[in-house]
Amino acid sequence: MARNVPGACEKVEAIYPLLVETYGEPQWRRWLPPVDQLVATILSQQTSSVNQRRAFEALRERFPSWEAVMEAPVEDVQAAIYPAGLSGQKAPRIQEALRAILRERGELNLDFLATMPVDEAQAWLRRLKGVGPKTAAIVLLFTFHRPAFPVDTHIHRIARRVGLVPPHSSAEQTQKLIEAMVEPERYYPLHIMLIQHGREICIARDPRCHICPLQAHCDYYQGLGY
């Protein structure tokens, strides 16, 4: 387990209201039913949200149910999700995940995750092929409002630049460290606000530090960090 940097808790306390002031505090809402969210999140891996949405809609239009997706020839699923990219990997992953749910639970339903202890729920999801810590946390947070903090590429970058976590922390370590220092009711709004910040201001190649509200708390800006 990675150890956090001294002062990280104070820093997250300081930046939270600045993010709220800049982006507004998002309220949790269920985006999709659990199995839909799992499939949508597998589709989102290494692609833009526009392409992910296109692929998800095409999949829902092409097949009447998740059972039909599971039983279809893999080439048909692959063709439907082509807009998401890596369809040769994602199609069998989706089918294998659906088959594993049916095998273990007897039905294509993930509602049991709503009450399972959150660590067990994460571990259960991560046993599905192609489901890593981010995908598992998204399913738990977005569909059940369970206390899991998904770390995508934007959040990973910002957390290290600001100095919320040590510079060489992995995404998985970053998830654990942030979960330990943020109140669970803030996981959802913080996740959404940091992604917006990463898309609009703390962009990967050329961060727009001159207009960033987090300057005073940022190691990168102060010349101290990653």
Residues marked active site are found at 134
Q: Is 190 in the site for ligand SF4 (CB under 6 A)?
A: no
Binding part of the chain for ligand SF4, among 1-9, 144-152, 182-190, 200-208 by CB under 6 A, reads 200-208
Q: Is 8 in the site for ligand SF4 (CB under 6 A)?
A: no
The closest alpha carbon to 74, from 59, 53, 52, 84, belongs to 59
Q: Is 220 in the site for ligand SF4 (CB under 6 A)?
A: yes
N-term to C-term CA, the chain: 20
Return the DSSP state at 24: -
Gyration radius from the chain CA atoms: 19
Among 69, 101, 193, 212, binds ligand SF4 (CB under 6 A): 212
For residues 35 to 64, the per-residue mask of contacts with ligand SF4, x marking binding by CB under 6 A and - elsewhere, is ------------------------------
Among 90, 154, 156, 161, binds ligand SF4 (CB under 6 A): 161
Please state, as a whole number, how many other Cβ atoms lie within 10 Å of the Cβ of residue 89. Answer: 14
Among 65, 185, 215, 224, binds ligand SF4 (CB under 6 A): 215
Q: Are the CB atoms for 42 and 135 separated by under 8 Å?
A: yes
Q: Which of residues 92-111 bind ligand SF4 (CB under 6 A)?
A: none
Separation of alpha carbons 128 and 4, rounded Å: 30
Residue 127 burial class via C-beta count within 10 angstroms: exposed 0-12, middle 13-18, buried 19 and up? exposed
Q: Which residue is listed with tokens 């010349």?
A: 223
Among 70, 84, 158, 177, binds ligand SF4 (CB under 6 A): 158
Please report how close the Cβ of residue 195 comes to ligand SF4 at its closest, in angstroms: 13
